[in-house]
Chains A and B, each alone.
Chain A
Amino acid sequence: MATLEIHDLHVSVEAESGPREILRGVDLTVKQGETHAIMGPNGSGKSTLAYSLAGHPKYQVTGGTVTLDGEDVLAMSVDERARAGVFLAMQYPVEVPGVSVSNFLRTSATAVRGEAPKLRTWVKEVKEAMEALQMDPSFAERNVNEGFSGGEKKRHEILQLELLKPKIAILDETDSGLDVDALRVVSEGVNRVRESGEVGTLLITHYTRILRYIKPDHVHVFAKGRIVESGGAELADKLEEEGYAAYVEGGASE
């Protein structure tokens, strides 16, 4: 069973005044089949955690370890992490002009699966996944994220999640900017992947709204670059009522 173990992770970014520490000792274990919600105020470092796990070059790991089934994730390049089974659904997916969605998906699936998917089954697979996410077939011929609405970008991220079937899925504010219908469609997509029982999910969010659709097993409050409280789903209810005020006294990290 796949397990992602984060131990005492420290991460800095380069700022004008020198390196600035954003993550200050994160400890977290996510197992296949589990869903962990990470909730926290703006500037608490949630997205830094997501991007650091995916290996974005902007973030410098200054201490700690991250392993996936014992393998050192931090030693892997960005693409190696993805092929090892770490998937990051981004909050702000990037436009890639001139590269069609269908070409991108197939190139990506080929890389992650280690061989090109058979064309006939692949076309069917993509078509079904797109239908389930209520995406028009013409979508496949558009350029990656170019001119996509906010909702289309998120559907496209979840489409990739469904096709790439990672061991660990990190969803970085996938709910932000979505209306209720889009949130439901996207959440159903995530749930289809979760129901396979083969993915560990790290759901990063500012709001509790998405937790009505995606039920977490564990909820962690993130503040000032680390997890400050952990609990079950009931912790989200408490946050819904009380907000983050109790955790940000003395100032957030930004």
Chain B
Amino acid sequence: MAETIPAGSTTDGAIQVGQPADARVSAAPSYDVADFPVPHGREEEWRFTPLERLRGLHDGTAEATGGLRVEVTAPEGVTVETVDRTDPRLGRAGKPVDRVAAQAYSSFEKASVVSIAKDAVLTEPVRISVHGEGGVAYGHQLVEVGAFAEAVVVIDHTGDATLAGNVEYVIGDGAKLTVVSVQDWDRQAVHVAQHTALVGRDASFKSVVVTFGGDVVRLHPRVIYGGPGGEAELYGLYFTDNGQHQEHRLFIDHDTPHCRSNVAYKGALQGKDAHAVWIGDVLIRSVAVGTDTYELNRNLVLTDGARVDSVPNLEIETGEIVGAGHASATGRFDDEQLFYLMARGIPHDEARRLVVRGFFAELVQQIGLPDIEERLLTKIEHELEASVA
């Protein structure tokens, strides 16, 4: 029995309530790209994505050329390895669920594995720098956190690349992992990736996804629970400029009792043909009693000509839950707010900056990493200055 709850209020853009999550994919999850037909663009999971701008990542024509530098800086207590594709630790978090993720899984040659030992409590973040030098690359990264360990991982994407990849997070029982993934690509980059987290018993996973750059960025964060008591917080922030396509598709599979999830994604858009897509799929399976979940998406449209597609979808197969809800709203920049601030002497650009900064502030405060928070706020201000200029 599936129940679909209507979306929250909307003032602009398109909001719809989608099909049940398990009916949305056109092929079963698989490690093998051959198990997926080449998408033509009308499939539920591809219908918002400009396939012609993926540079062949989706149809097998994109030959790997390299040109991607991955550097890992890690404090003590962390093991960093580069391993072959046959390493048995890979692929445990979950299978690729679409053609591009499967293409990446079928094509990568070496994977980075970052292991945080059991009980280790890191005092410094692990920093993974992914820098593109213009080539086509298929990547794979695994972050493995031992039981009761605590770690923060910051993944920074910069430069130019055509990149398809999978990132796995395998979080041991009682462990805590915070991952910040920043997509600060050059303007022409294409990045399609699946991020799959397997959250252990009583473990906590916090994901912060920040997307500013690229021509097309399509990320697919997924959460699966390995045992009861798991908790996932997924925060996202995007700033979509003219011509950019930034798509975040989330899936939380509540297949285990007494787990929690909380999703909050916020985006600002400016400029002609800026396109942001947010899909929030939450599935509460019949065994997942005691589930508590909430998801939220907010979009702030700063100028004419931008488009938002926001599709929250909640499917509930058991009534024995603590709570389940979602909200989605897309609004224009509020001229009344601007007037109010300007009527107090604050110049136009500064007033606009205050409003946009305010829009993101609550979300940014939840990140809990002061240096990242400051960097994000600075980045938002740069984006705004670019638009004002």
Contact = CB atoms under 8 A, between A and B. Distances in A.
B358 A78 contact: no
B90 to A, nearest CB: 41
B355 A96 contact: yes
A111 B347 contact: yes
Interface string A70-102: 000000011101110001101001111111000
Contacts of B336: 94
A77 B340 contact: no
A143 B361 CA distance: 11
Given A98-B359, A98-B361, A82 B345 contact: yes
Given A96-B358, A98-B361, A143-B358, A164 B345 contact: yes
A164 B354 CA distance: 19
A77 B354 CA distance: 18
A98 B358 contact: yes
Interface string B312-354: 0000000000000000000000111101111111111011001
B357 interface: yes
Q: What's the interface size class on A, roughly?
A: 20 to 34
B362 interface: yes
Contacts of B335: 57
B357 A98 contact: yes
Interface in A126-159: 143-144
A230 interface: no
A98 to B, nearest CB: 3
A56 interface: yes
A108 interface: yes
Interface in A48-68: 54-57
Contact of A79 (B337, B348, B362): B348
A8 B138 CA distance: 71
A122 to B, nearest CB: 15
B238 interface: no
Contacts of A207: none
A160 interface: yes
A78 B339 contact: yes
Contacts of B36: none
A225 B229 CA distance: 66
Contact of A96 (B337, B347, B350): B337
B278 interface: no
A90 B340 contact: yes
A160 B340 contact: no
Contact of B345 (A57, A79, A95): A79
A107 interface: yes
B360 interface: yes
A169 to B, nearest CB: 12
A111 B340 contact: no
B27 to A, nearest CB: 42
Contact of B354 (A56, A93, A94, A107): A107
A94 B358 contact: no
Contacts of A82: 342-346
A104 interface: yes
Interface in A5-64: 54-57
Contact of A111 (B339, B346, B358, B361): B346
Contacts of B334: 94
A96 B340 contact: yes
B356 to A, nearest CB: 9
Contact of B355 (A79, A93, A99, A108): A99
B358 A108 contact: no
Contacts of A99: 354-355, 357-358, 361
A223 interface: no
Interface string A102-117: 0110011001100000
Contacts of B358: 96-99, 143
A103 B361 CA distance: 13
A67 B359 CA distance: 37
Contacts of B347: 79, 111
A184 to B, nearest CB: 25
A99 B338 CA distance: 12
Contacts of B361: 98-99
Contacts of B360: 98
B342 A107 contact: no
A108 B346 CA distance: 6
Most A-side CB within 10 Å, residue of B335, B354, B355 = B354
Contact of B341 (A83, A96, A97): A96
A57 B342 CA distance: 12
B344 A111 contact: yes
Nearest to B334: A94
Contacts of A108: 341, 344-346
Interface of A: 54-57, 77-79, 81-83, 87-88, 90, 93-99, 103-104, 107-108, 111-112, 143-144, 160, 164
Interface of B: 334-337, 339-348, 350-351, 354-355, 357-362
Closest 3 CB pairs of A and B: A98-B358, A98-B361, A82-B345
Given A99-B361, A111-B345, A112-B344, 19 more contacts: A55-B343, A56-B339, A78-B339, A79-B348, A81-B343, A82-B346, A88-B343, A94-B340, A96-B337, A96-B355, A96-B358, A98-B360, A99-B357, A104-B341, A108-B344, A111-B344, A111-B350, A143-B358, A164-B344
19 contacts: A56-B339, A57-B335, A78-B339, A78-B342, A78-B343, A79-B351, A83-B345, A90-B343, A93-B340, A98-B357, A98-B358, A98-B359, A98-B360, A98-B361, A104-B344, A108-B341, A111-B344, A112-B344, A144-B340
